[in-house]
Chain A
Amino acid sequence: MTMTFETVTSRSGHLIPIVNGYHIHSIYNPIKEAKSFIEANLKKVAGEKNFLVFGGGYGYHINELVNYLETNERKDFCIYVIEPNNDLKSFCVQNNPFPNQIIYLENVSPEVAFNNQEFVNFLVKKPALLIHQASFNVYKEFYESFLKFKSSRNVADLICAIASNEFKSALTEYNSLSIDEAISESTKTTSANFHHFLISTFANVAGNREDQA
């Protein structure tokens, strides 16, 4: 789907992007709107230093978030922003005041993002999720694909992302199965070799999937 893009100037004198006819920020005062955004998310923001933001826009709300964090002496913050619109992203990247701490994900698709080790390392820290509603509404389907994403559990899909040749070899005989089926088959075998015991050890350490987040 082709998206139209244009900019206008708000009454307060700030640039406002318009995507497909939707204003991404307030046409009156985006700075005031950004402050309200932080206030509305105060429970999520308080005490937190890691944030995942859906929607970059022209970055007013992100700058306000940084202001809030600096005021509260949380200078070691880290913010990942997911913005699918390249025009918006380019603007934000060019005007990024903290390029080491505010990171705009490249090649955004859930499949790529959730295999990006740096992004995953960040997610493991359980960041607060902040949703910029105007951006979310424009790209609703895209953001929902992130929220609903489920990684493939098929051995065939995983194998190229596994670094260890030893473990790859162990999974070879289960190429047509899911990882759970491979574990089950490997555990059940009564003619086990060291590969089966390697898979079983992994399964013991990884635990069961019952209490999934």
Chain B
Amino acid sequence: MKNVLVVNFRKYGDIFNAYKFTGNIERQVENARVSTIGFKEFEQAFKLFKIKGDCFLVDRKLIQTYFKNRIYSDALAINEFMNSIEACIEQKWDLVINASNDEVGINFCSFLKHSNPNVEIVGNHFANNKTMVFSDIWSRTLNEITTSMKVSPINYIECFNQSLSLKPNSVVDLVNTVPENNQIAFKNFQQLRSTIGNGYKFLAGIQLKSSTAEKDIPTETIVQLIDGLINQTNIFPVLLIAPIKEEQEAAEQINKSFADQLTIVETDFIASPSVLINLDTIITPDTSIKHLCDLLDVPVVEYAGIESPRFKMWTTNPNSIVVNSLRSNKEVDHAQLGDLLISACNYTVGELSAKDLPNMASFLTFLPLRDKLGIYYKNITGPVSHEDECTRAISRYFLAKHYLGVSDNKLLKELNEVVARPSFNKWASSQKEIMTNNMRTLLSCIRTLGKAKENSKNIGMLIESIDSFIATCEEGGLSAIPALYFRSRFENCPKDEDPMTNTERALFEAKKDFQALFDSISQFDQYFLQTAPLYHSNTRTADGE
């Protein structure tokens, strides 16, 4: 039996998101038994998982109460902490996955690794000298590339799927539900469907609140959305709220605009899956509900506000859609957003094709699709930045080609559909110029390294040239990728390796990265030439397939 521990000291949304790959381990890895460790305050999320192993919970709130209050002895905090983890650290783990990817997760995984060197860690942990050990290129990519680039080329889930050699998530019965809740929810929703009449074919849940007010869909928009759904579509809206005062009041306020005729469903965390599976689509700004819906295979219209980190943690259900606002909630046009959400809702229930989605100046829409690397997001409508799209597509192509050894023409085709050749050429030309300059800096590092090896007096020069190369990380675009990987390799020299040898290897890896990036741009260049030998204006042909 392979004893697997998934370390996840994150919040609800991240716990659900990580379960998209951890849920597949027992199904795809022979004799695997998966256990989890996380914070007790998110126990309800862990309880929803169907896993064979244990769930270890650390009562962080209690530990912090002891530690932060001067009357209590720190021994109480330490005892509570050790009681929480004791059963976990006593087990012999074959594989530990750091899905947490934060400081506490890294330190805990480091503790497990240094307690038992035979344990395999997927993700990152510390070496004895406190340098970061990345389990593979995907762990490095997750930590260095997705966090530094303006547009992430790869989704969080796919980094772990690649590290663990898991097939993309085929959601099958991953979530625990309470049979009684299922029966009650089914009965109630059947009753609702019969009450609302034949004019409505679908039920759409509208999640009112997210973790912060800035992420919420504005109330004025929700009113527009509900009004539009009721009067213009065959989709009947249902307000979804948690049994807390703030949400109850928000629902009541909206309900007043509709003469108290709306259907409001109040559900706790454990009953949520039973409710969600009875709906045809969910409109949500909330991270945890979005990922829970992905696990339940319920399509969502994800509202991603301007602050939402793009591409890294979005919905992964290919039947879902992301509506990404380019304006803050205060500046948003409620009528436009309402209309777009209605269209997006129609798309998720199959009543509208992607090509018929309205194009609006303040919003982008994206569809989650699959390519050879996993989930990626195809822009469908809105004033997408051609530079961002080129960076995203080519950095993704580079990752698949250079680190996975697969070349994916789908990306070439998708970019070609969104970005016109003149835009691409302009972008490619400027990127090649920047990369050529950066490559010169890199080559200067390599030359200085040779001199430093011959005479240690030249080490100062080497450090100076390396600093110049690392400074290119700040560019944040495609040209920054080799420097980002280099910085990670250079700063995290393995403890048993000579720093000079490590630096040399990291520099040559960066050189290979540059070559692979130039090759990737060339591939796109050729594709654009073949498919569009003559310049043409940007005409969208996105059909969402």
**Which residue numbers of A lie inside 8 Å of B, CB to CB?**
110, 114-115, 117, 120, 123-124, 149-153, 158, 161-164, 166-167, 179, 189-194, 197-198, 200-202, 204-207, 209, 211-213
B114 touches A162 (CB 8 A): no
Interface stretch, picked from B69-77, B197-205, B227-235, B401-409, is B69-77
B82 touches A164 (CB 8 A): yes
B75 touches A158 (CB 8 A): yes
B78 touches A164 (CB 8 A): yes
Within the assembled complex, what's the spacing in Å between the Cα atoms of A150 and B75?
Answer: 14
Within the assembled complex, what's the spacing in Å between the Cα atoms of A115 and B66?
Answer: 11
A162 touches B128 (CB 8 A): no
A167 touches B82 (CB 8 A): yes
B107 touches A150 (CB 8 A): no
B34 CB to nearest A CB, Å: 21
User: Can you spell out 27 A-B residue pairs with CB atoms less than 8 angstroms apart?
Assistant: A114-B73, A115-B75, A117-B76, A120-B72, A149-B71, A150-B70, A150-B71, A151-B70, A158-B73, A158-B75, A161-B76, A162-B78, A163-B82, A163-B83, A164-B82, A166-B82, A167-B82, A179-B74, A189-B130, A191-B128, A192-B126, A201-B104, A204-B103, A205-B81, A206-B63, A211-B68, A212-B70
Within the assembled complex, what's the spacing in Å between the Cα atoms of A2 and B60?
Answer: 45
Measured CB to CB, the nearest residue on chain A to B82 is A164
Q: How large is the interface on B (under 10, 10 to 19, 20 to 34, 35 or more residues)?
A: 35 or more
Which residues of chain B are within 8 angstroms of A117 by Cβ–Cβ distance? Answer: 76
A197 touches B71 (CB 8 A): no
Measured CB to CB, the nearest residue on chain B to A150 is B70
Which residues of chain A are within 8 angstroms of B78 by Cβ–Cβ distance? Answer: 158, 162, 164, 167, 202
A162 touches B68 (CB 8 A): no
**Which residue numbers of B lie inside 8 Å of A, CB to CB?**
9, 58, 60, 62-79, 81-83, 86, 89, 103-104, 107-108, 110-111, 114-115, 126, 128-130
Which residues of chain B are within 8 angstroms of A198 by Cβ–Cβ distance? Answer: 111
Within the assembled complex, what's the spacing in Å between the Cα atoms of A26 and B290?
Answer: 64
A124 touches B68 (CB 8 A): no
Within the assembled complex, what's the spacing in Å between the Cα atoms of A189 and B71?
Answer: 30
A166-B82, A167-B78, A198-B111 known; A124 and B126 CB under 8 Å? Answer: no
Measured CB to CB, the nearest residue on chain A to B58 is A205
Which residues of chain B are within 8 angstroms of A197 by Cβ–Cβ distance? Answer: 107-108, 110-111, 114, 126
Measured CB to CB, the nearest residue on chain A to B39 is A205
Q: By DSSP majority rule, is chain B's interface helix, strand, loop, or mixed?
A: helix
Which residues of chain B are within 8 angstroms of A213 by Cβ–Cβ distance? Answer: 65, 68-70
A178 CB to nearest B CB, Å: 9
A190-B129, A202-B78 known; A115 and B73 CB under 8 Å? Answer: yes
6 further contact pairs, Cβ within 8 A, besides A152-B73, A205-B60, A206-B68: A158-B73, A192-B129, A202-B77, A202-B78, A207-B67, A213-B65
Within the assembled complex, what's the spacing in Å between the Cα atoms of A57 and B83?
Answer: 39
Measured CB to CB, the nearest residue on chain B to A151 is B73
Which residues of chain B are within 8 angstroms of A158 by Cβ–Cβ distance? Answer: 73-75, 78
B79 touches A163 (CB 8 A): yes
A164-B86, A191-B129 known; A114 and B79 CB under 8 Å? Answer: no
Within the assembled complex, what's the spacing in Å between the Cα atoms of A152 and B126?
Answer: 32
B74 touches A151 (CB 8 A): yes
A162 touches B79 (CB 8 A): yes
Interface centre among A152, A158, A201 (most CB of B within 10 A): A201
B68 interface neighbour in A123, A153, A193, A209, Cβ under 8 Å: A209
Within the assembled complex, what's the spacing in Å between the Cα atoms of A200 and B130?
Answer: 12
Which residues of chain B are within 8 angstroms of A110 by Cβ–Cβ distance? Answer: 71
Measured CB to CB, the nearest residue on chain A to B89 is A166
A159 CB to nearest B CB, Å: 8
Which residues of chain A are within 8 angstroms of B77 by Cβ–Cβ distance? Answer: 202, 206
B128 touches A192 (CB 8 A): yes
A204 touches B76 (CB 8 A): no
Measured CB to CB, the nearest residue on chain B to A146 is B71
